A = this chain, B = another copy of it.
Amino acid sequence: MDFAIFGAGRIGTIHAGNLAKAAGARLAYVVDPNAEYAQTLAARHGAQVATVRQVFEDRNIGGVLICSSTDTHADLIMAAAAAKKHVFCEKPVDLDVGRARACATAVESAGITCMIGFQRRFDPTFAAVKARLAAGEIGTPEMLVVTSRDPGPPPIPYIRSSGGIFKDMLIHDLDIFRWILDDEAESVHASASCLVDPAIADAGDADSTAVTIRTKKGRLCVINTSRRAAYGYDQRFEVLGSGGMLQAGNHAPTEVVASTASAITRDLPERFFLERYRAAYAAEIAHFLAVLAGKETVRTTVADGVKALELAEAATTSWREGRIVKMA
């Protein structure tokens, strides 16, 4: 099957590379407003630089990977639905819940597959926790504690157009919550602060958050997030169940332990998402192809994308208005 990719930046390059390794998949087109980026990526995989229109008019294109900037996601999904092309789209679907829902409706009407890039569900450690939970290893889950910290904040201009920390950063954690507890939010409370860089507050955003979700089944989820962790990318969660606890820890580059006169030391975690989720990115593209081949059912749907966005919006409201937000 032939594919086109929108966006030739960091994440687009990763996905294109994983697609290229797959048997039976061919990257035909690369679309990017930056001609140099587009050319470089196209050359690497024997693809052509193209326009959006070219992609959707080409009958040989079976699917598209949307890795362009967030403000283009909804339009491209809509166009793909109209052209009956299957979609893999990076999160978030859109910053506006209404538009995200419209995408979901369009996808459903068109009968296309639309997979959202919640790659964490494909991480070996996270997926193992999910599988072991499902196998009943710790009984009924009761509480989820998610720790999610970036090594450092993005540039201020990025923050200004990001939709805020809840939509930009916590969207992943909110998806983890729904996936791991297999439950929906009844109420959301978010507290937040700007502790890392006052310029983030000036941009109207926060950089440190604490979110509490109470689910319809009465379970509890707490998510703590920071735009900065001096020690690197911190991606952990733990589930307390009636029969015990499952913890997902960070991955390290090596298993070296050094003991010197001052301390016993281990490696810092993998530096950032490209390193931490390398295997996850490969697995999610493999899953996308398996779905298109009719061998698997899509696991991160556009509906999941909408739900996570609704939670991010509720958290934003809770923080801005200083109140607990009830979910429908």
Contacts and interface: CB of A to CB of B under 8 A. Distances in A.
Interface of A: 21, 124-125, 128-129, 132, 137-140, 142-143, 145, 147, 149, 187, 189, 191-196, 208-210, 212, 214, 218-222, 224, 226, 228-231, 234, 240-251, 253-268, 322-324
Contacts of A245: 229-231, 234, 258-260
A265 B243 CA distance: 14
A138 B258 CA distance: 8
A143 B209 CA distance: 9
Given A145-B145, A193-B214, A195-B219, A230 B324 contact: no
Given A128-B254, A260-B137, A210 B220 contact: yes
Nearest to A123: B254
- Per assembly, the copies of the chain total 4
Given A128-B256, A218-B193, A243 B230 contact: yes
Contacts of A193: 142, 214, 218-220
B247 A256 contact: yes
A196 B240 CA distance: 11
B132 A256 contact: yes
B263 A257 contact: no
Contacts of A214: 191, 193, 210
A222 B224 CA distance: 8
A53 to B, nearest CB: 33
25 contacts: A21-B21, A124-B254, A138-B230, A143-B210, A143-B224, A193-B218, A208-B220, A209-B220, A210-B214, A210-B222, A229-B240, A230-B261, A231-B245, A231-B261, A231-B264, A243-B260, A246-B259, A247-B258, A249-B255, A249-B257, A250-B255, A263-B268, A264-B267, A265-B265, A266-B266
Contacts of A251: 255
B261 A264 contact: no
Nearest to A207: B142
Q: Could you say which of A21, A193, A244, A248 has the most chain B C-beta atoms within 10 Å of its C-beta?
A: A244
A231 B256 contact: no
A271 to B, nearest CB: 12
Contacts of A234: 245
A220 B229 contact: no
Nearest to A259: B231
A79 to B, nearest CB: 34
A234 B266 CA distance: 18
Contacts of A212: 189, 191, 210, 212, 222
Contacts of A260: 137-138, 230-231, 243-245
Contacts of A268: 259, 261-264
A279 to B, nearest CB: 10
Contacts of A261: 230-231, 243-244, 268
A256 B129 contact: yes
A129 B263 CA distance: 15
A256 B254 CA distance: 16
A246 B240 contact: no
